[in-house]
Chains A and B, each alone.
Chain A
Amino acid sequence: MPQFLEHSGSSWKGQRLKHEPSWIDTLDPRIRVASAFVFALIVVLSNDFGVLITGLFASLLLAKLARLNVKRTLRRVIAMDMFMIFLIVMLPFTTPGEALFSVAGYPASLEGLLHALRITLKANAVVLMLLSIVGTMSATTLGHAMARLKVPDKLVHLLLFTVRYLDVIGQEYKRMRRAMQARAFVLRSNSHTWRSMGYLIGMLLIRSLERSERIVDAMKCRGYKGQFYLMDNTVLARQDYSYMVICALFFSVLLALNFV
């Protein structure tokens, strides 16, 4: 995959939100997570093109409503598509069926083409929906929403720790790379480069671990005993109920379309 299409982890600040505020931010995080899950379930299990196209349009609409950064979102969606590009390009040629056209003597079947199209629609609809209604909350909020949805405590703690360390490790990595560059280290395609990078990763992990041990000690010193307190307000407001009603109606329409 070309490098410019890859995500840059450094563009993400984890705990801080980096998007324009929109009405989606006023919704309860639990409902956002739950609705994204149901949407993914319906879209992935459907095979009707009407449903898939409606789903994709709904995702696009929500992306618009969530005021996602167009350039950043486009890059991410394209990067996701690149993952499966080979799969999708090959499908028409490997699925047996009625030949539609042929490239260099290999016939492409209609069934394969439709299958490829279906995968593309599903993947894009789900990812866009995720980015617009779950990806717009801060990772900490996501953790709290998961805790309220009865996800095991330890897993939620792990998520919150990971979010914290992403920043730490990312910065430490950049610092160490700069130090190597200052000593005239250039990435090449040889075992010296790979070994040096292995040492870098080993050191990176050790430094981060030592740092995390200090954090844990500091937390224990302040009375941490394996529990975070969720202090956010969890009362559902009016807009939550209206959103739920809209979602329920929309999902029923999607389900009904499958049987038309």
Chain B
Amino acid sequence: MHIVDGALSVPVLAGGAALAIAGVAVGLKKMDYDHLPQVGILSAAFFIASYIHLPIGFSSVHLILNGLIGLALGWAAFPALLVALLLQAVFFGFGGFLVLGVNTLNIALPAVLVYGLCRGGIVSSSPKVAATWGAVGGAGAVAITTVMVAASLALSGEAFLLAAKATLIAHIPVMIVEGFVTGAAVLLIRKVKPEFLNLSEEWEGG
């Protein structure tokens, strides 16, 4: 999912950075100090997810969790993911420095989109419907991210087209696993602590 420094063209880098800064600004505005711990936890969860490996078929994939982060945070997903990606780049050499903007945009924008699309579904009174929407959100976020990664590559040069297509195909198993995991996580969180998904305390469901 992370693109390294040097691969993308300058307009893509600059455009990605500008949009990411705008997203982070909106996110910071919508996030108050009382929510900081929750945002921090999800930011850390993204980091940890990258070393949770789940088997699928003969191989294994690691979780991304940007769908779940989006469902819980909305716009605050932007600052949360920027911080996680910055820490990964600086302390683990994941990705790079100047592509931070593009990487943040590619992972956080799908999270926000999923929030907009699936939010209505996960507050449904039927747990089955909610879990399904959670799964759609989890798989959908990975799908959009993959398309955006492929697009950033394709926009940087036609020579990248094949690699972009390969990225798309390689991530189908990730989408399947992510869908199951996010669906189950939504189901559990709804039951145990609905405030986590910003559902009010009087909310009746599940």
Q: Cβ of B118 < 8 Å from any Cβ of A?
A: no
| A185 part of interface (Cβ distance < 8 Å) | no
Please, which residues of chain B bring their CB within 8 A of the CB of A128?
93
Specify which of B42, B49, B80, B90 is in contact with A142 (CB 8 Å cutoff).
Answer: B90
Residues of B within 8 A of A73 (CB): 93
Interface presence of B153 (CB below 8 A): yes
A182 nearest CB across to chain B (Å): 18
B residues with CB within 8 A of A? 2-7, 10, 13, 24, 28, 31, 33-34, 36-45, 47-57, 60, 62-63, 65, 68, 72, 79-80, 82-84, 86-87, 89-98, 153, 158-163, 166, 177, 180-189, 192-193, 196
Find out whether the CB atom of B188 lies under 8 angstroms from the CB atom of A202.
Answer: yes
B98 touches A112 (CB 8 A): no
Place the interface of chain A in its size category.
35 or more
Question: Across the A-B interface, how many residue pairs have beta carbons closer than 8 Å?
Answer: 254
- Best-buried of A86, A115, A191, A205 by chain B (most CB within 10 Å): A205
Which B residues touch A58, using CB under 8 A?
none
- With an 8 A cutoff between CB atoms, is A121 at the interface? yes
**Interchain CA distance A202-B55 in the complex, whole Å:** 19
CB atoms of B83 and A159 under 8 A apart: yes
Interchain nearest-CB distance for B43 vs A (Å): 4
Q: Provide the residues of chain A in CB contact with B57, threshold 8 Å.
A: 189
Interface centre among A118, A202, A209 (most CB of B within 10 A): A202
In-complex Cβ contact of B62 among A6, A122, A154 (8 A):
A6
Chain A interfacial positions (CB closer than 8 Å to B): 3, 6-10, 12, 36-37, 40-41, 43-45, 73, 76-77, 79-80, 83-84, 86-87, 90-91, 93-96, 112, 115, 118-123, 126-128, 130-131, 134-135, 139, 142, 152, 154-155, 157-159, 161-166, 168-170, 173, 187-189, 191, 193-199, 201-206, 208-210, 212-213, 215-216, 226
Asked if residues A12 and B92 are in contact (CB atoms below 8 Å), the reply is yes
Q: Determine if B5 and A44 form an interchain contact, defined as CB atoms under 8 angstroms apart.
A: yes
| Cα distance, A169 to B33, chains bound together (Å) | 21
CB-CB nearest 3 A-B residue pairs: A198-B184, A122-B6, A161-B40
Identify the closest chain B residue to A201 (Cβ): B185
A-B pairs with beta carbons under 8 Å apart, 25 shown = A6-B62, A40-B5, A40-B97, A84-B3, A84-B7, A96-B159, A118-B6, A119-B4, A127-B93, A131-B93, A135-B90, A152-B28, A155-B28, A159-B86, A159-B87, A161-B37, A161-B39, A162-B80, A201-B45, A201-B52, A201-B181, A202-B192, A205-B185, A206-B188, A212-B41
